[in-house]
Structure 1
Amino acid sequence: MINRRLINVLNGQTEKTPPIWLMRQAGRYLPEYRATRAQAGDFLSLCYNPDLATEVTLQPIRRFGFDAAILFSDILVIPDGLGRSVRFVQGEGPQLDPISPEEIMDLDPSKVIDHLSPVFEAVGKIRHELPEETTFLGFCGAPWTVATYMIAGHGTPDQAPARLFARKHPEVFEALINCLVEASILYLVKQLQCGADAVQIFDSWAGVLDDALYVTASRDPIARIVAGVRAQIPDAKIIGFPKGAGMRLEDFVSVTGVNAIGLDWTVPLDWARDALQPKVALQGNLDPTLLMSDERHLDEAIDRIMAAWSNGPFIFNLGHGISPQGDINLVHRLIDRVRSYHG
């Protein structure tokens, strides 16, 4: 029988040594990734080339032996699949044509599956080539986070354009969220059917919302995605990552029904252990800047997290994605220290 330790944790088990993977573990800090991206020509071409997407997904597994691989793609393939123009400009990040209220009403989520067929081909290839014991994670962006880029056309420090849009055009905003919920369900179900073992929903901008918008734009849409995926795949394992949710994390866990909760580095360790870990597996939450820091600070931070969380269901990860300036030697040190830890 195949023993995928990360899936064990998502089933509520405590592993003696917690499984480990890192958000953005296939990325610019790796020289092999930079070479493959140059070969692809541009970022979206890399996402849509099944062979190259497979290659970059596997690169950190070969180098570090992580317990999980995560599909190499981007949260903005959903708006691209909806027919919106998505471009990745070197040094500037993603650029979209800001969507108008009239254009929102014309969106058709059923178009996403055909458009993203190269992604699903990559999913099948990756699962075939991964070591059997390595968990394979698919993912999508949460509706709120994806909507922020569609509305503003780019990222902003606090996503004020999307927050304002939600208040000026509440019915149209609701239609956009509903479309993204439906598209996300289709997308995640297909990833699971093609070979993903579990999926993660990234709500990178959950932390900028007030109470009312948190419920209507972030929590409830994610809960609908979880329910929609499980309506088709009842035992689907799902990780939620509402970055910056803070005091709302308990509510998020209880309402959405996720199997694990991704925690950013601002979440107090003891509080998470006492308030969340009895209900859900924890994932996180090392500050990514520590992988650009020094050995002493990294070791101390790892030991604090391990001491707090390793006696319950726990997946070691970062509190957000690894930076392009991340030090490969410190990544090796991180893995070694987690796997050799004796509390």
Structure 2
Amino acid sequence: MTQAPETSRNAEKTMLRALRGETLARPPVWLMRQAGRYLPEYRELRARAEGFLDLCYTPDYAVEVTLQPIRRYGFDAAILFSDILVVPHALGQKVWFEEGVGPRLEALEEASDLDRLDPAALHERLAPVYRTVARLSRELPAETTLIGFAGAPWTVASYMLEGGSSKDFAAGKRWAYGDPEAMQRLIDLLVAATGDYLIAQIDAGAEAVQIFDSWAGVWPEAQLRRWCLEPAKALVKRLKAERPGVPVILFPRGAGLLYQTYAAESGADALGLDTTVPLGWAREVLQPKVCVQGNLDPLALVAGGESQRAAVETILRELSGGPFVFNLGHGIVPQTPPEHVAQLMEQIRAWPGAGGW
């Protein structure tokens, strides 16, 4: 694998070294949703905020939430605390969060609704997020990598079209199959806005970025290529052209065998593996081309004990022979005992131990 020249102040951070293709004695580790509801200190702060978007848009809150798991566990990377739906919100779509329900949006119902979206005000509306990134770049420990992020165009579009979470993605698929020109217009708008957003995060201090395509796996191959892979390629191409040297992680959850296509065609530095990706296949097929990140089942972290220890050991054995970042196969769930995360970190820090496991 080719590697960017290590000339920046960030060259020695273990997270960045792994993303650039190095095989390290101990893999770096961070966890998706590592800042969140499983931590009592998060719940205490969340109770003081006026709402979830207030938490995302208030730098004092967002900085503190991002730092909480770093103070507690010493992860190798911190990911900006925000939400993928700040992009449609910044484009002018009504977004709110209901307790016990989750995100809600004023759904786009027909092609003419796209006229209501206004990218001109994107940076003005997202300025608080950029201030958060800038503060984090100053306040994080020197060894901790700061990851910026955004939702992938299809995943964000799905919320915009469904009006929230979905089990069958009927509205999104109806647009894609029934009016592909309108769907393409929405995806193209999101590619542009997401690229602008990620570049602004990098300029504010993000050292790597992750693009979350949480719902990639709902599509058959041809549609996944059009609505997920091609937009991802466009985003990575732009980021590599305009901010070379900044690693890009793609997380096409549920992509299955098409992970191989992502590794070959996307241009990303790393692929986040969901829980279902077989480790031996990832080692043989993906890891020679990209750094891989993952993929402990979040529910194994809930269960803890010997089943967690054995699952972590298996992942370390299978993937530590190449460029690798330890993570989960999806985000931490709220019922995760914090002490299980501490045990995870202790086990990874002990790797490879005296004579291996």
1:188-199 matches, within 5 Å, as 188-199=198-209
Return the alpha-carbon distance in structure 2 between the equivalents of residues 254 and 76 of structure 1: 29
**C-alpha displacement at 1:106, in angstroms?**
4.2
Give the alignment partner of residue 320 of structure 1, picking from 327, 330, 338. 330
Corresponding residue number in structure 2 for 1:7: 16
Instruction: Normalising by structure 1, report the TM-score.
Output: 0.98
Question: What per-residue deviation string (whole Å, max 9, x for no partner) do you get for residues 215-243 of structure 1?
Answer: 11000001101111222112221000000
2:191 corresponds to which residue? 181
Shift of 1:107: 2.4
**What is the match of residue 51 of structure 1?**
60
State whether structure 2 residue 286 is matched by structure 1 residue 276: yes
> Equivalent residue of 2:48, what SS?
helix
Partner amino acid for 2:218? Answer: V
Stretch deviating more after TM superposition (100-109 or 240-249) = 100-109
Secondary structure of the residue aligned to 1:40 is coil
TM-score by length of 2: 0.94
Deviation at 1:160, TM superposition (A): 2.5
Measured after TM superposition, the shift of residue 54 of structure 1 is 0.3
Measure the CA separation in 2 of the matches of 1:225 and 1:294: 37
Aligned residue in 2 for 1:129: 139
For residues 338 and 90 of structure 1, what CA distance do their matches in structure 2 show?
35
| Alignment-mate amino acid for residue 314 of structure 2 | R
Whole-angstrom distance in 1 between the partners of 2:195 and 2:311: 36
RMSD (CA atoms): 1.0
Task: Give the whole-Å Cα distance in 1 for the aligned partners of 2:87 and 2:75.
Answer: 27
Match of 2:238 in 1: 228
- List structure 1 segments (4+ residues) > 3 angstroms apart after TM superposition: none
Q: 1:287 aligns with which of 297, 314, 329?
A: 297
Q: Which residue, 141, 146, 161 being the options, matches 2:171? A: 161
Partner of 1:143: 153
How many pairs align?
Answer: 343
- Deviation at 1:109? 2.4
- Give the equivalent residue in structure 2 for 1:245: 255
- Seq. identity, %: 48
Q: Given the alignment, which residue of 37, 58, 65 partners 2:74?
A: 65
Instruction: Give the Cα separation in 2 of the matches to 1:260 and 1:317.
Output: 12
Paired residue type of 1:299: R
**Residues 36-61 of structure 1: CA deviation (Å, up to 9, x unaligned):** 11111210000000111000000000
| Structure 2 residues without counterparts, runs of 5 or longer | 1-8
Shift in Å, 1:310:
0.5
Structure 1 unaligned runs (5+)? Answer: none
Distance 2:230 2:198 in 1: 17
Q: Is 2:86 aligned against 1:77?
A: yes
Asked if the contact 2:216–2:255 (Cα under 8 Å) also holds between the matched residues in 1, the reply is yes
Q: Is the 8 A contact 1:10 1:260 kept in 2?
A: yes
